[in-house]
A = this chain, B = another copy of it.
């Protein structure tokens, strides 16, 4: 019997926003797989989970460079899959920690699909998404009654963003830091500039909540910045 792979959502930042199930899986796992953007860099997902791990866990560092170069990405996924496969073949269970929820824009899913296709047992443990935590922090709903919600990732090209901004009641824009100025212009154009709230590093050191987008300093925005646009107001 090979080991099992768990994709564990550790939530957006506050270690108390880990679920009881994620806590149990992290405690029971033999190895913790940790995605990093480069060797030696800290992993935010690991730092959130750290207090739950005890001392004797083996840590497997996986490198996923921030890049759109498909060849580079493919080779990093392949070596991540190979590292985890090695542990599973030694009958060891592996918990792959991932920020937020594993099903929402997480690199984990590549590893999940590949190892699932090889026939290894795989399971996803849901986590609190950054957009739910951000809405909670601000005290607004993401959707009520008949309202629709759109979630738009950072990598999305702004092509038909106008249509989405016009037709949806509530729009979540994820990891907006590099696109903030463009978005600010777009919101002014569509008269939505006072319907937006920006949340940076929700639940982490240096958290920032700003309901006035003119007050946001685009140079100080963290990578972990979410914008929520709510047509009926952000309170």
Chain B residue with Cβ nearest A154: B146
Instruction: Specify how many copies of this chain sit in the oligomer.
Output: 2
Contact A144 B17 (CB under 8 A): no
Contact B143 A132 (CB under 8 A): no
The verdict on A65 contacting chain B, using a C-beta distance below 8 Å, is: no
Binding-face segment, A101-109, A178-186, A212-220: A101-109
The verdict on A29 contacting chain B, using a C-beta distance below 8 Å, is: no
Q: Which of A153-191 contact B (CB under 8 A)?
A: 153, 155-157, 160, 163-164, 167-168
The verdict on A142 contacting chain B, using a C-beta distance below 8 Å, is: yes
Nearest Cβ on chain B to A139's Cβ, whole angstroms: 6
Nearest Cβ on chain B to A222's Cβ, whole angstroms: 19
Contact A148 B144 (CB under 8 A): no
* Contact indicator per residue, chain A 124-153, by CB within 8 Å of chain B (1) or not (0): 111111001101110111111111111111
The answer to whether residues A146 and B157 also contact, given A103-B135, A129-B129 and a CB cut-off of 8 A, is: yes
Contact B21 A19 (CB under 8 A): no
Contact A11 B19 (CB under 8 A): yes
Q: Which of B16, B132, B148 contacts A104 (CB 8 A)?
A: B132
Pick the most buried of A11, A18, A129: most chain B CB atoms within 10 A of its CB. A129
Q: Which 4 A-B pairs have the closest CB atoms?
A: A124-B136, A16-B21, A103-B135, A149-B151
Known: A103-B135, A105-B145, A148-B164. 19 other contacts (CB 8 A): A17-B19, A19-B128, A101-B132, A102-B136, A103-B132, A103-B143, A104-B141, A104-B143, A105-B143, A109-B141, A124-B136, A126-B128, A126-B133, A126-B136, A142-B151, A146-B153, A148-B150, A163-B167, A164-B167
A/B interface sample: 25 pairs, CB < 8 A:
A11-B19, A15-B20, A16-B19, A16-B21, A17-B19, A18-B20, A102-B141, A104-B141, A104-B142, A105-B141, A105-B145, A125-B136, A126-B132, A127-B132, A128-B128, A143-B151, A145-B153, A146-B153, A146-B155, A146-B156, A146-B157, A148-B152, A148-B164, A150-B150, A151-B151
